[in-house]
Copies of this chain bind each other. A is one copy, B any other.
Amino acid sequence: MKARVHVTLKSGVLDPQGKAIGHALEALGFSGIGEVRQGKVIDLEIDETDADSARIQVEAMCQKLLANTVIENYDIELNP
């Protein structure tokens, strides 16, 4: 099974990267750009066919390693 995890900064947390990207896009002449936020996407293959137990596993990975829930949110998509 394939899993895609998005790790993004919580909404109140400053995102200097996103801010810089927004400025750079404006400087390049793109207009009407609102908030820009940058996060991580992690694609992984796991040897598991059952969606429920896959989700439990990936959830544990997020909690333990992939995200720091102090400042980040994560969400999980499974692609069997």
Which A residues have a C-beta under 8 Å from some C-beta of B?
6, 8, 18, 21-22, 24-25, 28, 30-48, 57, 60-61, 64-66
| Number of copies of this kind of chain in the complex | 2
If A32-B46, A40-B40, A41-B8 touch, whether A21 touches B66 (CB-CB below 8 Å) is: yes
Between A and B, 15 residue pairs with Cβ closer than 8 Å are A8-B41, A18-B43, A21-B42, A21-B66, A25-B61, A25-B65, A28-B61, A28-B64, A28-B65, A30-B46, A30-B61, A34-B47, A35-B43, A36-B43, A40-B41
The CB with the most chain B CB atoms within 10 A, among A8, A24, A41, A45, is that of A41
Additional 18 contacts, C-beta under 8 A, given A8-B41, A30-B46: A6-B41, A21-B44, A21-B65, A21-B66, A24-B65, A30-B57, A31-B47, A32-B46, A33-B46, A35-B44, A37-B42, A37-B43, A38-B41, A38-B42, A39-B40, A39-B42, A39-B43, A41-B41
